[in-house]
Amino acid sequence: MINRVIEKATGNDYGDDIDRRIITPLHLTSTSVPTTRVTLPRPSGRAYSKLAETDTGPAYDVTELNARLAYGSGQMVSSPADLNRFYSALLRGRLLPPEQLKKMKTTVESSRETSRYGLGLVDRKLSCGVHVWGHDGGISGSHSDAVTTEDGRHLLAVNFNGDWSGSTRAIIEAKFCGKQGLPLTRRGRRKPGGPSSPRSVTTGAVPRHTRPDRGRPRPSGPCGPPSPAVPGSRGASWA
């Protein structure tokens, strides 16, 4: 719906306004709003889907996809590094005036007990008491999730190259709470309370098996979603 509002108010395609207001100012070089293009920019990997509401049976390569089918609800390409950069800028007040950001962070109850929903932002309370803000999204063959602490300095972005791969919650819990359910300090010690590092931690999963050291697609085969905790990818995926 919001994309229709943007187009009605501006007379432009909503993707043009996203590019002008967000992508270009933040130098999100791996992010775009494709129109009818069906391929991903390089480097990227492959995307797999069951094409059914099941996690059994064969998986199919759906890398070539016209994302226009999702329009304003999922028609974007990005990378973990760009997602982290975007959420850091948003939560640190670089994109919106304080009153507008405050409205985005004004939440109501959601269907999940540990989450509250704002205007495009989800507030999630983790098992160790830490709150993270962000949003997830997906399309056939891809599921992405990006979260940050409220100060925009401790971040995580994850992408699965299979749409049956399950929840990202365990990854988020491990990142922000540590294996024993307590936040990690900068030196790796667990400490009750808030987030561990005062600096920006831009950890991201390698989308669709793109190795950050080589930048070449590395398909996992039709039944192999990627390991979700490799930092520093610049590869693109459907976000």
Beta-strand ranges (E) seen in 84-189 are: 108-109, 115-117, 122-125, 131-139, 142-148, 154-160
Domains, the chain, in order of start with CATH, read: 37-238 (3.40.710.10)
pLDDT (0 to 100) of residue 3: 82
pLDDT (0 to 100) of residue 116: 95
CA separation for the pair 175, 203 (Å, rounded): 9
CA separation for the pair 56, 54 (Å, rounded): 6
CA separation for the pair 186, 203 (Å, rounded): 14
Ranges 89-93, 170-174, 209-213: which has the least confidence: 209-213
Residue 60 has pLDDT above 90, yes or no: yes
CB 161 within 8 A of CB 220: yes
Ranges 31-40, 69-78, 150-159, 227-236: which has the least confidence: 227-236
Furthest CA-CA distance within the chain: 53
pLDDT digits (tens, 9 = 90+) for 199-209: 323 343 333 33
Type of residue at 199: R
pLDDT (0 to 100) of residue 236: 60
Residue 165 has pLDDT above 80, yes or no: no
